[in-house]
Amino acid sequence: MYQIEYYREPSGREPVNEWLARLDMKAKVVIMGKIARLEKYGLLLQTNMMKRIENGD
């Protein structure tokens, strides 16, 4: 099992958690499911579920 750590700015702000909080419930369920799989399998997970996030999308 792996531990996911979210980026924290020196000020204490956590942009990833702020972004997650703004998602609608359907999107949040999908993203949290993917995060759970990353916790379980790490980057050894062979999938195309990871892609670069651009422009806050």
- Listed in sequence order, the residues at least 6 apart from 35 whose beta carbon sits closer than 8 Å to its beta carbon are 4
Q: Where are the domains of the chain?
A: 1-57
- Listed in sequence order, the residues at least 6 apart from 48 whose beta carbon sits closer than 8 Å to its beta carbon are none
- Provide the mean pLDDT of the chain: 84
Q: What pLDDT score was predicted for residue 38?
A: 86
Q: What pLDDT score was predicted for residue 41?
A: 83
Helices 15-22 and 25-41 pack at an angle, to 10 degrees, of 140
pLDDT digit string (tens) for 24-50? Answer: 999 999 999 988 988 888 876 565 655
**The pLDDT of residue 55 is above 70:** no
pTM: 0.66
Closest CA to 57 of 13, 27, 14, 29: 27
